[in-house]
A and B are shown apart, each in its own frame.
Chain A
Amino acid sequence: GNSVTQMEGPVTLSEEAFLTINCTYTATGYPSLFWYVQYPGEGLQLLLKATKADDKGSNKGFEATYRKETTSFHLEKGSVQVSDSAVYFCALSESTNAGKSTFGDGTTLTVKP
């Protein structure tokens, strides 16, 4: 079956530091890959996505590249802000049921001023 493995947290960074959250996946087909963010007290929001190998998703300064050869989709941001403090979830979905997503455990990011 499908699975997503995320870098364990929590992660604590100083403002303007570089962020990487690792994500690797196992899937039988050719999944779409997603990063979701959950701010305190809120629901899951789509941060970025990539639907095929070598695609790069980007949004709000965050980037992730779909690497089929390493089955990875690592999240990066060059300079984090306090407002980026949240829980980040890596997820995948298969084309056969696009809404049925498999999630990673989530990584809690805290950015200190």
Chain B
Amino acid sequence: EPEVTQTPSHQVTQMGQEVILRCVPISNHLYFYWYRQILGQKVEFLVSFYNNEISEKSEIFDDQFSVERPDGSNFTLKIRSTKLEDSAMYFCASRLGSGANVLTFGAGSRLTVL
């Protein structure tokens, strides 16, 4: 069964460092998403991406965050200058297209900021 793959599974970084989380969505999917889950809290929507641009973003997704699809395969989330409160599990998800509202999630990337 097709799956969404995420790397790394766990990253530890120092506060202020840049982090890039990578995702390979399902190949024929057209819509891409990032969610995060701070330990013990809800899964929260960060951003949606379609046709090579952001279609919607949450208040959490401030100027420190960016997304891109550099090569038609990978979908990356960059955090420019990490803060302690960015420590969380980050989930990538993809969706086939219009009329298909089922998301397929990756296993997540755990980010720990020290």
Contacts and interface: CB of A to CB of B under 8 A. Distances in A.
A106 B41 CA distance: 8
A110 B95 CA distance: 30
Contacts, number: 57
Interface in A67-106: 89, 91, 93, 95, 97-106
Interface in A25-79: 32, 36, 41-46, 49, 51
Nearest to A42: B107
Contacts of B106: 43
A46 B48 CA distance: 19
Q: Contact size class for B?
A: 20 to 34
Contacts of A89: 43
A interface residue count range (under 10 / 10 to 19 / 20 to 34 / 35 or more): 20 to 34
SS of B interface (majority): strand
Given A98-B95, A99-B95, A44 B56 contact: no
Contact of A100 (B33, B42, B102): B33
Contacts of B103: 46, 99, 101
B51 interface: no
A96 to B, nearest CB: 9
B101 A103 contact: no
Interface string B94-110: 01000011111111100
Contacts of B33: 99-100
Contacts of A32: 101
Most chain A Cβ neighbours within 10 Å, of B35, B42, B95, B105: B42
Contact of B42 (A43, A45, A103): A103
A51 B105 CA distance: 19
Nearest to A94: B101
A102 B105 contact: no
Contacts of B44: 103
Given A49-B101, A100-B33, A103-B42, 9 more contacts: A36-B105, A43-B106, A46-B104, A93-B101, A99-B31, A99-B93, A101-B43, A103-B43, A105-B42
12 contacts: A41-B107, A43-B91, A43-B107, A98-B100, A99-B93, A99-B101, A100-B33, A100-B56, A101-B35, A103-B43, A104-B42, A106-B43
